[in-house]
Structure 1
Amino acid sequence: MQEMSVLQDCFVANIPGKDMTAAIEEKLNTYGACCLGSGTYLVSGVRMPPNATLSGLGRCTRLLLDPALEAGSTVSMDAFCCVKDLFLCGAEQKIELPEEPGARHGILYRGTATTKDWMGEGLKLNAIISGCWISGYNGGGITCVDTGYYIRASLTATNCHIFNCGTGLNISHFSEYHAFTNIQCCENGYGCINNGGNNKFVNCAFDGNRLGFMIDNLRIKSPNHSHGSVVGCSFNHTDNNKGIGILLLGATNGYIFSGCQMFYSRIVIEASAAIAFNAINFGRLMDIEIKGDELIAFSDCVFGGVPARIAVSNPAAVKFSGCYTRHGKEIRI
C-alpha cells in the first residue's frame, strides 16, 4: 500500500495541449521521481535535478518538445539521473533531415567541463537512459557535450531506438567514457557523431543513415578525442547504398572496430592513426579510401567480393592481414 501511495504521489496525468513541464519538474524536485501515463505530454524542456528518475509506460507515453521552439531539448539530465520507458518526440510527423545537426535534441547530457576545469560544479555523473524511442529532432536523439575527462562523468544508454533525427547519437565535443549498448540508430542524418574520447558502442546498429559513424577532429577540434571501441555493430545501406558507413577525420588517438558488419557502405579515413578493423564482415558494394601516413590495420576480415576500390595514399601505412573474399582470394593493396 505504501508503494502504491508513493507511485500515486509521483504520477502526472496528461492534459492534452497544455505545457506539462512545470508539473513534471515539480514531481522531480519534490519526490526525485516522476511517472507519466499514456498520451502526449507537451513540454518546453524538462530539466531534471540530480538523483531523479523520469519514467513512462513505453511507447504509449509521448513527450513532445514544443514545435514552436527553435532550440532546446525534451529532457536535460543531471548527475545520477535515469530516463526510461518513454517515447520522446521532436515532431508529431516525420521531419526533413537537416544537412548538419540542428539545435533541437531529444535527451541532452551537458556539462561545463574545460581542459583546465573538468572537475567543477557542472560535473555530470553516472546517468542512465533505458528503453526509449526517440524521433523527430533536427539535433541529436541523445546529445552529450562537454562532460569532460572524468571517468565517472558518464552516460550509459541501452535498449533504445533512435530514428528520423539529425544525429542519432551526438557526442559533439569533449565528452568521454560513455557506453551505448543495443542502440538502433537508423534512418537519421548521421547515425553517430563521436567527437569525444573513450566512448564504447556494443551491439548497435548504424543502418540506413545518410552517414553512419563519424569522428571528426579536423573541423571540430575536441581534446582527447577517439581511442574508443565499436564491437558487434552494423553499418549497412548508408545513403541509399552509396554513402559512407565509417568516416574518420583526424582520429589520431586510435580506434578499434571488431566483430562488425558493413554492407553497401564505404569507409573513408583521413589523417588518422592506430585504427584497427578486426573480424569484420564486409559485404558487397564496398570501397575503402585512406589518406595519411600512420597505421591503419585490417585483420581477419572477410569480404563478400573484391572491394570495388581500395584507394590508399601511402601503401606502407595500411596493413591487410588474413583478409579474404568469400572465394578465398586474399585482399591486398
Structure 2
Amino acid sequence: MTLSRFLQIYLSSLPYLGWIRSIPTERQKIITQAYKKLEMVSLNLINRKKAEIQKEMQGLSKADFDEKEGHYDATGVARGKDLLHLMMRANMAEDVSEKEKLSDNELLGQITTLLLAGHETTSTQTTWTLHLLAEHPEIQRKLREEIHEHFGKGMERQIGYDEISSMKYLDCVVKEAMRFSSPVPTTIRVSSEDDVIPLSRSYHCHNDPSKTFDRIPISKGQEILIPIQAFNLSTDIWGPTAQQFDPTRWFEESLPSNARNSGLPLHLLTFIAGPRGCIGNRFAIAEFKALLVGLVGRFNFESVQGWEVEPKQTIVVRPRIVGQEHVGPQMPLRISRI
C-alpha cells in the first residue's frame, strides 16, 4: 500500500469524488493485464473442452451420455471427471433448457473464480501450515505417524478421499491450521438494507464512558469489515490458548463450547457463512488434506535458523523474510526425504 494508493482509496470514498478510483495507476495496469491473461487461458480451456464434448456427445442427451460405457482414454483412465468437463457437458446437453445453461461469459467467470479463489487460498494455506509444522516438530511427527499408519512408510498406497476423511489427527491439524493462519484474514460485505447488528456484550461509549451500547445500527449500502482472523484467534471464543497452535483443541472433548455453538461451518469463520459463504469449502479441505498427506508423508520440514518469517497482507497473507523484503514473498524451509 503506497501513499498514492491510500490517498486514492480515501479520496474516492468522499462525496462526489468516486471518479478518483478509476484513475489508471501502475498497480491497476498490472491487475488488468493479469486478468486479461487469465481470461485468455480460461477461454482457450472452454474452446478446447467444447470441441472434445461435441465430438463425444454426438446428439446424446445428458442422461444417456452419463450412462455411456467405454468413456475412457487410451490408457484406460476415465475421462470427463474434472469439474469444467462436467459443467460444460451439462451446459451443452440437448435436454437441458436454454434458461438453465450458462453463457460462455458465465463459464469464463466460473473458471476464473476456481483458479483465483480455489488455487491461491489452498496454496497459501499449505505454505503457512508447513511453516507451523516445521516450528512444531512433535506435531509434525505425530501427523506423519498417522499418515504412515494409513498409507505405509513408503507411501505406496494411493491417497483416497474416504481414507483421508477418517484420519482424526489429520483433521485436527487441518482445522487448527485454518483457524490459526487463515489465508484470507478479512473480507468486506455491503449491507443491502438498514439493519442493526447485536453485540455479544455491552461496551462503554468512547465520548461518554457513563453510557453503554450493545448494538450497532447499519445503513443500506454501508461497507462492513468482517475480521476473519480476529474471530479465529479470539480468546472469548477459543479460550486462553487461542494464540497457540494446538491441534488437540479439536478433539470432541476439548472443543470450547463458544466455538462449538458458533453456528459456523467447521466452527470457523475461515469460509465465512450464509448465502455468500465459500461454496467450495469441502473440496478445499479434501484438497488440502491430500496435499499434506503427500508432503508430510514423504518429507521432513524444518525452519531455517536465524530467518524471521513475517506475514504480509495482500488479498491473501503471504510470508516474507525480515530484512529480505525486496525479494518478495518467500517461505524458506529445510526439506529432507523421509
> Same fold by TM (over 0.5)?
no
Which of the two has higher C-alpha Rg?
A: 2
Q: Which interval holds the TM-score relative to the shorter structure? A: under 0.3
Counting helix residues as a fraction of each chain, which structure ranks higher? 2
Counting strand residues as a fraction of each chain, which structure ranks higher? 1
Of structures 1 and 2, the one with the larger relative CO (CA 8 A, separation 6+) is 2
TM-score normalised over the length of structure 1: 0.20
TM-score normalised over the length of structure 2: 0.20
